[in-house]
Amino acid sequence: MEKKSMTVGIYTLGCKVNQYESEAIAEELIRKGFKIDSPSAVCDAYVINTCTVTAESDRKARQFIRRAITKNPDAYVVVTGCMAQTAAEDIARIDGVDAVVGNTDKLSAARLIEQLTKKGEKSSSPIICVSDIDSADFEKMNITTFDRTRAYVKIEDGCESRCTYCIIPSARGKIRSKAPEDVIAEVKALTAGGCREVVLTGIETASYGKDLGNTNLASLLCEIDKIDGIGRVRLGSLDPSLIKKDFVEKISGLRSLAPHFHLSLQSGSDTVLALMKRKYNSKMAMTAIELLREYIPDVKFTTDIIVGFPYETEENFMETVEFVRKADFLMTHIFPYSKRAGTPAAKMQGQIPKEEKSRRLHLLSDVEAASRMNILQKEIEKNPYKEVLFETFKDGILTGHTADFIEVKVPFCRPLHAQLVKVRLDSTDGNVIYGVIDEG
């Protein structure tokens, strides 16, 4: 009788880099003979890949750890990720945790699961595998599988910006880049396996190649563009300071690059940007947007904004509101500022009351919604036929995205998974566009 494979559930919190690393851990576990199951199932082991960007992220991580232990008290529990890197001892004190793995060797999470299951008993004292993040090299890992139509490929790790609100440099360390030949090989394999969209991601994607000296993000994009059969290539979050004329000129003619950029703006006020210690001001950010619009027709932008940063006055906030209006973002992810222990901003005087942060969030949300509605309505009027890459099919509705990241829903009789289809855009509810398959 064939031996039943042991099951592992993987909880992933946080960013796209964490999602990629969880997939790499999953593939390593599969190679070792384990079966990956839903983290909501009762599994033989669990890997919890944590985030620590906010205090709320830490709370959620602890909640997921305890949830896994409650589901199966006998399960082997390995905790990895950013909270594991910065708070290993705290995690190790949670009853039921078997091992804590930092961000320098995350694939060891799979090796520890293997060791624990072979031993056949839970750790009497949690194993802690956390080393100095600032002396770490880029961890070699790759993926061969992907969800639906899209794959995230991690090309960079670490951040050296030291923004006053952010703890991530302490969790991720210095800038480390994946060798360009390794990126190319991974993207080639994913493309050959049917992947139609690759998202290049990192902790600070714009800094790719800074540590290597012989390449940069633009050069990497040019090499990827040469891959036979390459589909869409999308970029993760970018610092606006990257977007200069030489960069835009180099990438604007690439056939694979999706005309969509997510700019990590955070504020439209120079005063607040200086308090945050960002590397640009509002004029530089707007120049970047205008430059991309000049060189790449129909380009769309999404962004992140923090409202209620310490000392942010009403005037500062309105500068951000006006920037968002002028920039015409397709989507703006808005977050009320929250203190993060260990960061300079948490110790600043001039903290904004919770009620005021909520008011600003709702006001900016209204501006964002009006901008998105306007963009979607214009798209229907001016570009009524667009190619959509379909990703899901549920209850007779296909869902996918255009190259410029507009979400489109279409009623249809069958799945069109990973197919690029011409769609007539008909209407919008302000969030997505509804259309029909162009049969002509």
Tell the CATH topology of 150-380.
Answer: pyruvate-formate lyase- activating enzyme (3.80.30)
Model-wide pTM > 0.85: yes
Strand order in the sheet with 45-50: 35-37, 7-12, 45-50, 76-81, 99-101, 127-129
> Which pLDDT value is given to residue 5?
84
> Which pLDDT value is given to residue 440?
56
Each residue of 298-350: pLDDT tens digit? 999 999 999 999 999 999 999 999 999 999 999 999 999 999 999 999 999 99
Listed in order, the ranges of the chain carrying CATH 2.40.50.140 are 383-437
Q: Is the pLDDT of residue 274 over 80?
A: yes
Contacts 24+ apart (CB under 8 A), 412-420: 412/437, 415/390, 416/390, 417/148, 417/149, 417/390, 417/391, 417/392, 417/393, 418/148, 418/149, 418/194, 418/196, 418/389, 418/390, 418/391, 419/389, 419/390, 420/196, 420/231, 420/387, 420/388, 420/389
Listed in order, the ranges of the chain carrying CATH 3.80.30.20 are 150-380
**pLDDT band at residue 3, thresholds of 50, 70 and 90?**
low
In this structure, are residues 216 and 175 in contact, taking their beta carbons and an 8 Å threshold?
Answer: no
Q: Is the pLDDT of residue 2 over 50?
A: no
Which CATH superfamily, name and number, covers 7-131? Methylthiotransferase, N-terminal domain (3.40.50.12160)
Each residue of 201-250: pLDDT tens digit? 999 999 999 999 889 999 999 999 999 999 999 999 999 999 999 999 99
Taking residues 34-53, what's their average pLDDT?
Answer: 96
Listed in order, the ranges of the chain carrying CATH 3.40.50.12160 are 7-131
> Which pLDDT value is given to residue 126?
95
In this structure, are residues 11 and 43 in contact, taking their beta carbons and an 8 Å threshold?
Answer: no
Q: Is the pLDDT of residue 143 over 50?
A: yes
CATH number attached to the domain at 383-437: 2.40.50.140
